[in-house]
Amino acid sequence: MSELKNIALQILNNGKGILAADESTGTMTKRLEGVNVPSNSENRLLFRETLFSSSSMSDCIGGVILYDETIKQVSSKKITIPDLISKSGAHPGIKVDTGAKILAGSPNEKITEGLDGLRERLKEYYKLGAKFTKWRGVYNISKDYPSKLSVQSNAHALARYSALVQENNMVPIVEPEVLMDGDHSAKDCYQKTSEVIKRCFDELILHKVDLKGIILKPNMILAGNKSNEKISNEEVAKLTLECLKNSVPTEVPGIAFLSGGQSEIEATENLNLINKNNNTNFIMSYSYGRALQQSALKFWSKNIRDLEGTQKIFNHRAKMNTLAAQGKWSKEIEN
């Protein structure tokens, strides 16, 4: 199993992070139509390939999470997308859940589906070149949520998924995302996130998942997006570190945060402060989607043939997050 630990470390070592390019066709269509670019498989591939061919791939990106459509596509260089990513020294990964559906018994909450037929799909993805996988559980916060049912059933699904992934020699990314939607306080977020993560690890251990061969992808501790509470970036870093230190077993090699609705700069600044104050043995890096791609997508949409200009913007964002993953970012460098 040390092979899995090595892959996890290669993905996150030296400030490298993960590019989450696993938007479903539906989500990618929303993103492209939002910037007035028609969403077809050619345009979706063109944007992604532009990022995957950028120079920051070898310096900053240790892994790329793909969607089913993308992992099967062939680049303009006539090599497969997984080969294009591997050539830069990064590992190709794949999102394997089939989305969050209404949780029976608690209609305001979600359960992630996709366990049926997963073993067979994993074999196929491994053959296509995937070295790691992703599964996301989502949890609402309010006075009543997340319910015990939601916490337990999503933890169970994440653990079953992880066991199957390791059986197929890939590293599972375990992503329990406590959503920032709502008017909850940072303290509420801290308590609920702690509860969710602890339950996930109880289940992972029960399912005999080797914790040395996983990557945890949690949310940072933030006040809800409709909350009147304003907490400083320093406070975000302090609470996030405290939560993870008390909830995550020490065997886990690395943690790659999701950006979860933060702006590009917020996501970078918070990651930087977490690393400046990181008194744990965990590598703390990033697994960002929008917070890595948003500016590049806006630029690209003005002229989808200006690949060099798009890459320049993406390279800057990747570089800033890699500095933040080492606690070396500053506003001066950003600007």
Q: Is the pLDDT reported for residue 172 higher than 70?
A: yes
Is residue 310 within 8 Å of residue 244, measured between CB atoms? no
Confidence of residue 2 (pLDDT cuts 50, 70, 90): confident
Question: Which range marks the domain in which residue 39 is found?
Answer: 2-334
User: 3-state DSSP call for residue 157?
Assistant: helix
Model confidence at 1: pLDDT above 70: no
218 confidence band (pLDDT: 50, 70, 90): very high
Q: Which residue has the higher pLDDT, 4 or 260?
A: 4
Average pLDDT over every residue of 106-130: 98
Asked about 217 being catalytic, the answer comes back as: yes
Q: Which two tokens stand for residue 222?
A: 């933030």
Q: Tell me what the pLDDT averaged over the chain comes to.
A: 96
Residue 88 sits in a domain whose CATH number is: 3.20.20.70
Mean per-residue pLDDT, 229-252: 96
The residue with tokens 């992808």 is 217
Mean pLDDT of 136-162: 97
pLDDT at position 230 is: 87
Region of residue 272 (phi > 0: left; psi between -120 and 50: alpha; otherwise: beta): alpha
Mean pLDDT, residues 98-112 taken together: 97
**pLDDT exceeds cutoff 90 at 243:** yes
Q: What average pLDDT does this structure show over 36-54?
A: 96
Three-state helix/strand/coil letters over 49-110: HHHHCCCHHHHCEEEEEECHHHHCCECCCCCEHHHHHHHCCCEEEEECCCCEEEECCEEEEE
Quick one: pLDDT at residue 106?
97
Residue 103 has pLDDT above 80, yes or no: yes
**Taking the complete model, does pTM exceed 0.85, yes or no?**
yes
pLDDT in the model for residue 292: 97
Instruction: Please tell me what DSSP assigns to residue 14.
Output: G
Check 5, 110, 131, 217 and give the catalytic one: 217
pLDDT band with cut points at 50, 70 and 90 for residue 244: very high
**pLDDT over 90 percentage in the chain:** 98
Give the pLDDT confidence of 306-328 residue by residue, as tens digits.
999 999 999 999 999 999 999 99
Residue 317 is predicted with a pLDDT of 98
Q: Count the domains in the chain.
A: 1
Q: What residues pair up with 77 in beta bridges, in sequence order?
A: none
Q: Which has the closest alpha carbon to 103: 140, 158, 134?
A: 140
